[in-house]
Amino acid sequence: MGFQREVTITQRGRACRLFGQDFVSVAQAARHFNISHSFAREMVNGDRHKEGDRDEIRRNWVNKHINQMTPEERQRAKEREEANRDE
């Protein structure tokens, strides 16, 4: 008697579509995009961002808010963005 390595029971979640991809559950979508479950659930419940590119939405948000930042905050944000691009 050993351990089973294959999934024997699959929990059924709420099927959803986020950023142009279909997922079995909200949790699977959150894991795929590396976002919190509550944020993914909020987007799914609000029928937002079903289509579109996650990076484009992020860039639009950053460009919108960057004008409200101090020069030091802008520099830190730019460094973070470059670090994320390298990954």
| pLDDT tens-digit map of 51-77 | 777 777 777 766 776 667 788 887 888
Residue 7 banded pLDDT, cuts 50, 70, 90:
low
- Pinpoint the alpha helices (H) of the chain: 26-33, 37-45, 54-66, 71-86
Give the per-residue pLDDT at 87. Answer: 63
Question: Which of the pair, 87 or 43, is modelled with greater confidence?
Answer: 43
User: Has residue 49 got a pLDDT over 80?
Assistant: no
Average pLDDT of the chain?
79
Mean pLDDT over 8-24 rounds to 80
Query: Is the entire prediction scored with pTM above 0.75?
Result: no
Structure tokens at 80: 């973070």
Give the per-residue pLDDT at 61. Answer: 67
User: Three-state SS for 14?
Assistant: coil
Q: Are 61 and 33 in contact (CB under 8 A)?
A: no
Mean pLDDT over 5-24 rounds to 79
CA 56 to each of CA 8, 36, 42, 81: distance values in angstroms, whole numbers, following the listed order: 38, 19, 19, 13
